[in-house]
């Protein structure tokens, strides 16, 4: 999540907290990655407002529409072409290694 401030005359008039969730697909074939972004959903929390009540639901709808018309097409154009991962010329056998998986990442370490 990230904070967004709107200022006027050097003073913060709106402070929002924005979180994003994405849904899509990635494909790996050899050393080429392709994929698509199907959706970006936002969750906006109004932290403070000096200009009255802000409808967080309306802010979410506006951001979702903005992402679907701007960010998602650009991301999909990039991933449709795909990109190559650098090849490893030499694999080094290590004596110690750690492989750890969590819900949102994979960590592999070696000496």
**Model confidence over 87-108: pLDDT tens digits?**
766 666 666 666 676 766 666 7
pLDDT at 71 over 70: yes
CA atoms within 13 A of residue 36's CA, in its CB half-sphere: 5
What pLDDT shows up at residue 92? 61
Q: Is the pLDDT of residue 2 over 80?
A: no
In the structure encoding, which two tokens stand for residue 111, read together?
Answer: 């000496």
Helix axes 56-69, 71-81, angle to 10 degrees: 40
Span 9-60, pLDDT tens digits: 988 998 989 898 999 999 988 888 999 999 998 898 889 999 888 888 888 8
pLDDT of residue 75: 92
54, 46 contact by CB (below 8 A): yes
Closest C-alpha among 81, 105, 74, 67 to residue 27:
81
The model carries a pTM of 0.58
CA atoms of 33 and 80, how far apart (whole Å): 9
- Say if residues 5 and 12 touch (Cβ distance below 8 Å): yes
């Amino acid at each position: 999540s990230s904070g967004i401030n709107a200022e006027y005359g050097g003073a913060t008039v709106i402070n929002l907290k924005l979180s994003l969730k994405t849904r899509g697909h990635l494909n790996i074939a050899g050393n080429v990655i392709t994929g698509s972004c199907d959706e970006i959903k936002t969750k906006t929390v109004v932290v403070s407002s000096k200009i009255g009540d802000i409808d967080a639901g309306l802010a979410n709808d506006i951001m979702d529409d903005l992402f679907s018309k701007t960010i998602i097409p650009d991301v999909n154009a990039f991933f449709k072409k795909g990109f190559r991962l650098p090849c490893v010329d030499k694999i080094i056998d290590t004596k110690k290694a750690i492989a750890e998986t969590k819900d949102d990442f994979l960590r592999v370490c070696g000496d």
